């Protein structure tokens, strides 16, 4: 997968290191996370809160850190946990307390609650605004025209750090259509930059369309099935 990302970056004149891999481990168990962590992967994305909290605890228990902060199991540093699923406002506290990144802020109420509930002892929560460039009723995300106003709210909140945008465009096998959707996200991103906001992250692209996303400036691609294989059935509860 890293080679595929590197090839996609080089094909559009970008450096491979410009694009980070986020392993989407939702519905996969702690064994799968630990196996990939043993190969050097550090960033993991989760959609379902209760599943994620239990998994993170199990992974932590089975992957003890030495006093130097390096894992005895694989010689690497601590894992970085990203929440990438829809956020219900009544579930913001455990997200604020347990994750390093949140990719899916789409309204100011959620942003304010995450900031208020982020423990002072932790570093600011790294966040992205989710934008809906496809107009799908079933998808989360704010309207692209509302992203700037939401960004201005977030930059004023003390326990959050705005990093950029996230998007999940409508699936299509047409590479031209894929790029067109990702280009709309990039346009919103560039608008934020033009307004003086210090954003540096475009979280977009998955297993089926990451080449198109990278061509349009993705800095994080979120990959699940291409890394882990077919997803097991989800256990209800979140």
Query: How does pLDDT run across 105-145, given as a tens digit for each residue?
Result: 999 999 999 999 999 999 999 999 999 998 776 678 999 99
Query: How does pLDDT run across 135-180, given as a tens digit for each residue?
Result: 776 678 999 999 999 999 999 999 999 999 999 999 999 999 999 9
Q: According to the model, what pLDDT value does residue 67 have?
A: 40
Phi, psi of 79 (to 5 degrees): -75, 155
Domains and CATH numbers, the chain: 2-23+82-228 (3.20.20.10)
């Amino acid at each position: 997968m890293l080679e595929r990302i590197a090839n996609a970056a080089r094909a559009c004149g970008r450096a491979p290191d410009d694009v980070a891999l986020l392993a989407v481990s939702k519905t996969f168990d702690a064994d799968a996370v630990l196996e990939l962590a043993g190969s050097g992967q550090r960033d993991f994305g989760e959609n379902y809160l209760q599943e994620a909290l239990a998994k993170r605890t199990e992974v932590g228990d089975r992957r003890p850190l030495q006093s130097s902060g390096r894992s005895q199991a694989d010689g690497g540093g601590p894992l970085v946990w990203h929440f990438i699923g829809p956020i219900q406002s009544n579930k913001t506290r455990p997200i604020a307390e347990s994750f390093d990144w949140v990719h899916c802020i789409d309204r100011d109420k959620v942003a304010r609650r995450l900031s208020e509930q982020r423990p002072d002892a932790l570093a600011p929560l790294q966040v992205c605004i989710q934008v809906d460039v496809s107009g799908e009723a079933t998808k989360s995300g704010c309207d692209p025209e509302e992203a700037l106003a939401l960004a201005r709210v977030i930059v004023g909140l003390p326990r959050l750090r705005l990093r950029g945008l996230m998007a999940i465009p409508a699936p299509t096998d047409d590479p031209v259509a894929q790029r067109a959707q990702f280009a709309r996200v990039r346009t919103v991103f560039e608008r934020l930059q033009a307004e003086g906001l210090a954003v540096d992250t475009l979280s977009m692209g998955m297993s089926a369309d990451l080449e198109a996303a990278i061509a349009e400036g993705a800095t994080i691609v979120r990959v699940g099935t291409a890394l882990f294989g077919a997803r097991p059935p989800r256990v209800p509860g979140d």
